[in-house]
Chains A and B, each alone.
Chain A
Amino acid sequence: MKKLSAINRSDKKTAFLMLLPLIGLLTAFVIIPLFYAVFVSFYKWNFYQENIFIGFENYRRVLSDPLFYKAMWTGLKFAAIVIPAQFILAFLFANLIRTLGGKFGGFVKTSIYIPHVISGVVASIIFLFIYDFDGGLANFIITSLGLEQVAWLADVKFALTSISIPAIWLGFGLTTLVMLAGLNDIPKTYYEAAVIDGANAWHKMIYITIPLLKNIFLYLLVVGVTGAIQQFDLPYLMTGGGPLNETMTPNLFIFTHFTKDPYMGYTVASALLLFVILAVISAVIFKLFNSKKMDS
């Protein structure tokens, strides 16, 4: 027993040593800047003059700005379009790829992963061509079907959905591969036992696959939702946040203040509020899915 605890102590020490670089980097680049941001958010902050303490004034201004709420709402709507679509597509594709073997399976895996390595900037430019009102592919298809041209990026009804599509395309590859890794981890014997008990494909999916992918789903959901809410480059390049702020995601909203405001207080306060909102959303997701390690 004594020997065992000695090993544990040594293991702990090694673990701490291993963690040290990460903790150091996190402290330098996350924790200190975060506390510093909280500190300056209470000031009328200027790089060149004495800072003036103004208490919660910056927060009051952000919280009484209807555009801040609209931006947060837009972020949520964007996530609500992107994440379910990505999940359903990725789940179906992951199942499909699992049944494919050999070279063809590898080819499909590579093909769907390619969009993930394309930058948002390049995707934006590609989709700007696709959504061009007169010469774009989207309107070519629509008009070939006998429908009227659509102002994909200028129509209030379509703009957010239009920028969601490249987001789905960009994120879909990684989501699929993570789900595929999860699927491959489910022991085949579970399915074999289920078949003996008379389960059909539907039963297998509902009672085996989905419950056993719960932690994978949880990871993808938290990363996906927080990532989608923080979307920046697609609306920045494709719509500039318009029309009528319909595509003004929270990060674009903050960035606009960063570039246009003479003082930085509003920007810092709104960024911190976004941080709190994202933390709450992540906590709610964890709570709803009740994450815990699977019993072996």
Chain B
Amino acid sequence: MRKNKLFVVLVSLFTLVILMAGCKGTGPEGESAGAESEETESGKTVIDFWVSWGDSKADWFNKWIDKYNASQDEVEVKATFIAGDAWEQRVKAAQAAGTGPDVMTMNYGSIVFSAQQGKIQPLDEYVDPAIFEDLHDFANEFVSFDGKHYAYPFNAEPGSILLYRKDFFEEAGLDPEQPPETWDELIEYGKKLSKDGRYGLTAAGNTNDLAWSHWGLQAMTGQLPISDDWSKATINNEGYKKLFKFWKTLYDEGIFPKQQPGMYTEIQPLVDGRTAMMFNGSFTFDALRNEYADVVDKIGVAPLPTPDGNYKQPTSAMGGWTFVVDGNSKHPEEAAKFIEWFLAGDPEIMVDFFELSNFSSFTGRKSVDEALKDHPEASNDEWRKILLEKVIPYAVPEPIHAWEISLAYANALERVYLQGQDIDESLKQAEKEINDYIETNDYAGTNPRLQ
């Protein structure tokens, strides 16, 4: 009998321990961010900082974080570098368990919804308001919601530009300093540049890549596929018909491969000569200059061709990164001060970053741009000049509407060029899909930017 009791007690204890282990951190109201260690042995407040680019720029981050840690004796910033693929899982799991970092990197597209849901805190009450006056208008708009600033910009990158091989242009009798400016020219150039073993142009080839890399092309039509207040589809119009026809022609004429040679962001097909022109983002500059220095001189950069050849219109969506303070951080002031020092303080910190990344992205700050004007490499960088003059001033922010809307666009385009569906029919179907989405999800009027 006694043995039985012991058995029951053991079983109960074991189950309880396991249950407690299982329960830990599953509650939606987590305890606090950076729960691992709040203070160092010397009494400094620990600020956990998560960076979403893996180890690629870890040395650079650590160099400046060490300087910050040495510059004062109240706060110790500890950085964790997480690879892009694992980022979402890691962050969401930590947020759910209440063990998220104090500061983390966040892309522009996530800021508004994160602010709306209290996932991030406004910086205004902790930092000098003058730091926001240093921001270009586009960057200020990116990080603002409801009259407050929820992030500070790290960098900005145009997601769609034209890269082309000058040597292949010469080979085909085209002027390498005159890239195509209109859609018709692009088609004409594409035909001339295509030959056995080489395509005229490569671009986004799978649904996901089409869904986001076409935001610049969508902007050329003058309208996203959904109205600004998210109340109705705005995809079934002449602008989109023209865009679909343009894309289908590229495919039908064999200027595009029937299957793209890789992901949208891959630069190799241009480097190894499998294509003469490529749609890609400015983020490729880093890889081109670091890994393929021997072909850099042969590569030209231009805005995406537009229907009428005028580049003074949006040809690209601007993405990019910021630092934010977690909504559950116990030390928001210290966290915000760190961001202020790192991103809004000495412009040399960011100049150092742009130098390291081969000027593949841009700043949201006027003072950093000023500092870059005097930088010999930056001021002589032709690619950078072209983007600063012809792309960035007209770029649109990455849209924040639901992914389903971008997917409806991508699927409509795929139906046309892959399956040969009539353009009008496909746009009509996409219009219905978007309107159905709006209705099912009570989506009309929910754009937080307009609230």
- Name A residues whose Cβ lies closer than 8 Å to a Cβ of B: 13, 16-17, 20-21, 23-25, 27-29, 32-33, 36, 40, 45-49, 51, 60-61, 64-67, 131-134, 149, 151-156, 239-245, 256, 258-264
Contacts and interface: CB of A to CB of B under 8 A. Distances in A.
Contact of A36 (B17, B26, B119, B274): B26
Contacts of A25: 18
B417 to A, nearest CB: 10
For the complex of A and B, the 9 pairs showing the least CB-CB separation, nearest first, are A28-B22, A242-B207, A24-B18, A151-B259, A154-B259, A262-B113, A260-B403, A133-B259, A151-B258
Interface string B42-82: 00000000000000000000000000000000000000000
A25 B18 CA distance: 7
A16 B11 CA distance: 9
Interface in B373-422: 402-404, 407, 410-411, 414-415, 418-419
B259 A48 contact: no
A132 to B, nearest CB: 7
B95 A47 contact: yes
B: contact size bracket: 35 or more
Interface string B208-224: 11000000000000000
Interface in B413-435: 414-415, 418-419, 433
24 contacts: A13-B7, A17-B7, A20-B14, A24-B14, A24-B19, A25-B18, A48-B118, A51-B28, A61-B440, A67-B404, A133-B259, A149-B258, A153-B259, A154-B418, A155-B258, A242-B410, A243-B207, A244-B411, A245-B411, A258-B88, A261-B402, A261-B403, A262-B116, A263-B117
Contacts of B28: 40, 45-47, 51
Given A40-B28, A244-B415, A256-B403, 15 more contacts: A24-B15, A28-B18, A32-B22, A32-B26, A33-B26, A48-B117, A49-B118, A61-B440, A131-B259, A133-B261, A154-B259, A155-B259, A155-B418, A243-B207, A259-B88
Interface in B194-209: 197, 205-209
Interface string B239-276: 00000000000000000011111000000000000100
A276 B23 CA distance: 24
A65 to B, nearest CB: 7
Contacts of B95: 47-48
Contact of A28 (B21, B197, B403, B407): B21
Contacts of A244: 207, 411, 414-415, 418-419
Nearest to B96: A47
Contacts of B15: 20, 23-24, 27
Contacts of A259: 88
B258 A154 contact: yes
Nearest to B15: A24
A47 B15 CA distance: 27
B197 A240 contact: no
A16 B10 CA distance: 12
B117 A154 contact: no
B307 interface: no
Interface of B: 7, 11, 14-15, 17-19, 21-23, 26, 28, 30, 88, 92, 95-96, 98, 113-114, 116-119, 197, 205-209, 257-261, 274, 327-328, 402-404, 407, 410-411, 414-415, 418-419, 433, 440-441
Contacts of A60: 440
B207 A241 contact: yes
A154 B260 contact: yes
Nearest to B403: A260
Contacts of B407: 67
A17 B14 CA distance: 11
Max chain B C-beta neighbours (<10 A), residue from A24, A25, A51, A66 = A24
Contacts of A153: 206, 259
Nearest to A263: B117
Contacts of A132: 261
A67 to B, nearest CB: 8
A149 B257 CA distance: 11
A23 B16 CA distance: 12
Given A46-B28, A48-B327, A240 B18 contact: no
Contact of B206 (A29, A46, A66, A243): A243
A277 B397 CA distance: 40
A258 B92 contact: yes
Max chain B C-beta neighbours (<10 A), residue from A36, A46, A66, A262 = A262
A242 B206 contact: yes
B83 to A, nearest CB: 13
Given A20-B14, A28-B21, A245 B207 contact: yes
A6 to B, nearest CB: 13
Given A61-B440, A262-B113, A239 B206 contact: yes
A27 B22 contact: yes
Contacts of B440: 60-61, 64-65
B117 A262 contact: yes
Given A28-B21, A133-B259, A20 B11 contact: yes
B18 A27 contact: yes
Max chain A C-beta neighbours (<10 A), residue from B96, B259, B261 = B259
A23 B266 CA distance: 47
Given A28-B19, A47-B119, A258-B88, A240 B209 contact: yes
A46 B118 contact: yes
Nearest to A241: B207
A279 B126 CA distance: 52
A55 B441 CA distance: 14
Contacts of B414: 242-244
Given A156-B419, A243-B414, A244-B419, A48 B119 contact: yes
A264 B403 CA distance: 14
A17 B259 CA distance: 58
Contacts of A20: 11, 14-15
B23 A240 contact: no
A261 B207 CA distance: 17
Contacts of A154: 205-206, 258-260, 418
Contact of A32 (B19, B117, B403, B441): B19
A144 B260 CA distance: 22
A133 B258 contact: yes
B259 A27 contact: no
A267 B411 CA distance: 21
A151 to B, nearest CB: 4
A256 B261 CA distance: 23
